[in-house]
């Protein structure tokens, strides 16, 4: 017997028929003797609808009331799933975030989980064999007693945190895909599903464009040693052996992976913008004058490249920001021009970031140089490069994104399952 957390996203619970399908998945695990907690998202599209209502009510709305509204989507799903499970003869009850409680920070709309009390859920496992159906994405700030939400993708974070709190053997993330792939199969048809991915690799994949898992959920899994299993909710529940090895991808410690590939996957993001500040004085404090105001404006800066002139007096500074923050970033820099001191600012939104990830890079030289050569042969110009121990990223013209991804996927042998 195992203790499982099963998380179902919005597309998996989009209507009553799909909620019934989810209930059959849950019943399968209960019938196999497992103790089960379920974390659910709002029905597909519901959160966007609730956010729209808040904006329609007032463009400058109270963030605390915003959370009170948008948290209701998950509560509806949790109640409906508990009703369906009870109709199937499964002992179940719904839980809202504040009832456990899931304690969070006071940052409404993007709160962070501070603590979870899973004692009552575990007690009910023992005493009643009761399934806990928990509304994801939400918690409560202890001092104010106000509902909080965790930001987009917060149900993944809720699920992993609850798995840690109740000491679950595994956290199964059910979604509309059957695992983590070497890259987006819509771009590379030969992309294949990975059986296992190390936490560090998944962190990079999630932060660099792969949208299968939310970054904070992977961080929690790594810190608390919670194995995460990504699998599809659209497989027929009755066709899955609960004691077997269903299709999916296990996110785990590096030590749990026997054969480690040099390159695990290729991620890409077209939601990038490039900003180049020209002819800046090369002196102490200039970088702080540029990136300090951007940080205060909550702009995440990613790739940074600095080119110093031959005489060492001037420099060009190029960096990337999310495309949605491009205009705001340009405005921030323009306001700080007198303090920074530069001739002009150039920008581009027709760029993309392509990243190569793999723990095997730690022990293999020349991995990046192979990519640079392969891209050059395809006449793909590299605007900027960043590297870390287990990944490197290149910034290229957006028009060449798919060609670059296919080229690199083939280069590192990822076309072969």
Q: Are residues 278 and 383 in the same domain?
A: yes
Q: Are residues 294 and 219 in the same domain?
A: no
Residue 404, in any domain of the structure: yes
- Tell me how far apart the alpha carbons of residues 38 and 155 are, in angstroms, rounded to a whole number: 11
Cis previous bond, 95, omega within 30: no
Query: Which residue range(s) make up the domain with 244?
Result: 3-255
Under the banding of pLDDT at 50, 70 and 90, the label for residue 391 is very high
Question: Domain containing 397 — which CATH number?
Answer: 3.30.2130.10
What's the rounded mean pLDDT across residues 132-147?
96
Q: Tell me what the pLDDT averaged over the chain comes to.
A: 91
Q: Provide, rounded to the nearest whole percent, the portion of the chain with pLDDT above 90.
A: 71
Report yes or no on 260 lying in a domain.
no
Angle between helices 46-57 and 63-70 (to 10 degrees): 150
Tell which residue, 167, 16, 151, 35, has the closest CA to residue 79.
Answer: 16
| pLDDT on residue 311 | 64
Task: Using the predicted structure, report yes or no on whether residue 398 has a pLDDT greater than 90.
Answer: yes
For tokens 């928990």, name the residue: 134
pTM score of the predicted model: 0.86
pLDDT at 177: 85
Distance between first and last Cα of the chain: 33
247 lies in the same domain as 391: no
pLDDT at 156: 94
Contacts of 59 (CB under 8 A, 6+ apart): none
Q: Which two tokens stand for residue 363?
A: 């022990």
Q: Are residues 150 and 276 in the same domain?
A: no
416 within some domain: no
Give yes or no: residues 195 and 299 share one domain: no
Of 215-224, 265-274, 363-372, where does mean pLDDT reach its minimum? 363-372
Question: For residue 246, is it within any domain?
Answer: yes
Residues 39 and 185 in one domain: yes
Which pair of structure tokens corresponds to residue 38? 């379920």
The helix or strand, by DSSP H or E, that contains position 41, with its residue range, turns out to be none
Q: With residue 53 as reference, give the H or E element that holds it.
A: helix 46-57
Residues 94 and 181 in one domain: yes
Q: What is the mean pLDDT of residues 178-198?
A: 92
Q: Which residue in the block uniquely carries the two structure tokens 């379920």?
A: 38
β-bridge pairing 146-149 and 344-357: unpaired
Q: Are residues 298 and 197 in the same domain?
A: no
Task: Report how many domains make up the chain.
Answer: 2
Q: What is the pLDDT of residue 96?
A: 96
What is the reported pLDDT for 209? 66
Same domain, 145 and 192: yes
> Of 317, 337, 309, whose CA–CA distance to 275 is shortest?
317
**Would residue 198 count as lying in a domain?**
yes
Same structural domain for residues 287 and 212? Answer: no
Residue 225 is part of a domain; what is its CATH number? 3.40.1160.10
Same domain, 80 and 193: yes
Domain membership of residue 316 (yes or no) is yes
Cis peptide leading into residue 101 (ω within 30°): yes
Is residue 36, in this structure, part of any structural domain at all?
A: yes
Is 261 within the bounds of a domain? no
Per residue in 76-100, pLDDT (tens digit) is 999 999 999 999 999 999 999 999 9
Shared domain for 376 and 234, answered yes or no, is no
């Amino acid at each position: 017997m195992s203790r499982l957390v099963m998380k179902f996203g919005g597309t998996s619970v989009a209507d009553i028929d799909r909620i019934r399908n989810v209930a059959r998945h849950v019943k399968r695990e209960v019938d196999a003797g497992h103790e089960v907690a379920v974390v659910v998202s709002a029905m597909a599209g519901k959160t966007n609808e609730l956010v729209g209502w808040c904006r329609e009510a007032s463009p400058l709305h109270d963030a605390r009331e915003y959370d009170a509204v948008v948290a209701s989507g998950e509560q509806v799903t949790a109640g409906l799933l508990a009703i369906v499970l009870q109709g199937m003869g499964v002992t179940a009850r719904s839980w809202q975030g504040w009832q456990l409680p899931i304690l969070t920070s006071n940052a409404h709309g993007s709160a962070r989980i501070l603590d979870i009390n899973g004692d009552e859920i575990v007690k009910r496992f023992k005493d009643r064999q009761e399934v806990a159906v928990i509304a994801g994405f939400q918690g409560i700030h202890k001092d104010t007693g106000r509902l909080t939400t965790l930001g987009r993708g917060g149900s993944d974070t809720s699920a992993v945190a609850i798995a840690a709190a109740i000491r679950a053997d595994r956290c199964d993330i059910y979604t509309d895909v059957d695992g983590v792939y070497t890259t987006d199969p819509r771009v590379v048809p030969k992309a294949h599903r990975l059986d296992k991915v190390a936490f560090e690799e998944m962190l990079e994949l999630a932060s660099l464009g792969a949208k299968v898992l939310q970054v904070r959920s992977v961080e929690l899994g790594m810190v608390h040693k919670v194995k995460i299993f990504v699998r599809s909710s659209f497989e027929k529940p009755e066709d899955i052996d609960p004691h077997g090895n269903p299709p999916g991808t296990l996110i785990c410690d590096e030590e749990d992976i026997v054969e480690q590939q040099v390159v695990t996957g290729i991620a890409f993001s077209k939601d990038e913008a490039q900003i180049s500040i020209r002819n800046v004085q090369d002196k102490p404090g200039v970088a702080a004058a540029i990136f300090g105001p951007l940080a205060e404006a909550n702009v995440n800066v990613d790739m940074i490249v600095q080119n110093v002139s031959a005489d060492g007096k001037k420099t060009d500074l190029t960096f990337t920001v999310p495309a949605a923050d491009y205009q705001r970033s340009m405005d921030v820099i323009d306001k700080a021009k007198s303090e920074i001191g530069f001739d002009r600012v150039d920008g581009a939104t027709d760029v993309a970031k392509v990243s190569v990830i793999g723990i095997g890079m730690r022990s293999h030289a020349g991995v990046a140089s192979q990519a640079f050569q392969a891209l050059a042969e395809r006449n793909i110009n590299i605007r900027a490069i960043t590297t870390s121990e287990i990944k490197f990223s290149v910034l290229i013209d957006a028009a060449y994104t798919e060609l670059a991804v296919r080229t690199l996927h083939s280069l590192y042998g990822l076309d072969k399952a």
